Amino acid sequence: MRRLRPSFFARHSAVVAPDLLGKVLRVADCAGRITEVEAYGGADDAASHAFRGPTPRNAVMFGPPAQLYVYFTYGMHYCANVVTGPVGDGQAVLLRAVDPLSGIDVMSARRGGRKTHLADGPGKLCQAFGVDLNWNGRTTDGLLFDDGFVVDDVTVSARIGISKEVDRPWRWEVPPSK
DNA sequence: CAATCGATGATCT
DNA sequence: GATCATCGATTGG
């Protein structure tokens, strides 16, 4: 149950992302083991929100690492990222999926009573953990931990749902528990 | 199982 | 006015 320190996030997003697999996201009573992440770069990554420079929405990406970058998309979903790399770069890691560990009843209630597929997608993850725009810019200190889960069978592939840089292999996942 | 498609609104051009 | 770092229902194999 070791808290991830800010220095963990000071590295490049493509290094931090795979290192987050198996780590634990804990928000109040809810916790889950991270199973899928994607890395996003700054000015060198056309698929990143940071590609065209700072705007009101993506401002947090250009701030210090280890902060949450939460945005609203498709008119109905939130997505949660952790800012990484040097200040001003705009790098972040998108938290795409976790395996629920505790607080499952709360997650289920937030997810409309579903008992499966509670957090196996970036929008579902935010809904299950109650993450919305109020979380944008908050620190991740006290939210991310190393609980000693062994990471095995990591799969690397292209990022999902984007139309640029579609071949960049910046998505990492481990099998869900099932 | 995979492919398709509508919902729904902020954001940026 | 177009574009989304998505989800869930539906359709078809």
Q: Are A34 and A122 in contact (CB under 8 A)?
A: no
pLDDT in tens, A68-80: 999 999 999 999 9
Identity of residue A66: A
Give residues with Cβ within 8 angstroms of A99, minimum separation 6. A32, A33, A35, A119, A176, A177
pLDDT in tens, A88-108: 999 999 999 999 999 999 999
Binding residues for strand B (Cβ < 7 Å)? A 52, 55-58, 72-76
- Helices (H) and strands (E) in chain A — how many of each? 3, 9
pTM, two decimal places: 0.96
CA of A70 to C1' of C5 (A): 11
**Cα-based distances in Å from A92 to A40, A51, A70, A97, A147:** 5, 12, 11, 15, 22
Mean pLDDT over A110-115 rounds to 96
Tokens describing residue A76: 């109905």
Task: Please state whether strand C lies within 7 Å of residue A138 at its CB atom.
Answer: no
pLDDT in tens, A26-46: 999 999 999 999 999 999 999
| Count, residues in chain A | 178
Tokens describing residue A47: 């698929």
CA of A67 to C1' of B11 (A): 22
CA of A76 to C1' of C12 (A): 28
CA of A67 to C1' of B7 (A): 31
The SS3 of residue A59 is: helix
- What residue spans of A86-170 are helical by DSSP H? 104-110, 122-129
Give the pLDDT score at A177. 82
A window 38-97: Cβ near strand C (< 7 A): 38, 40, 47-50, 61, 69, 73-77, 79, 81, 92, 94
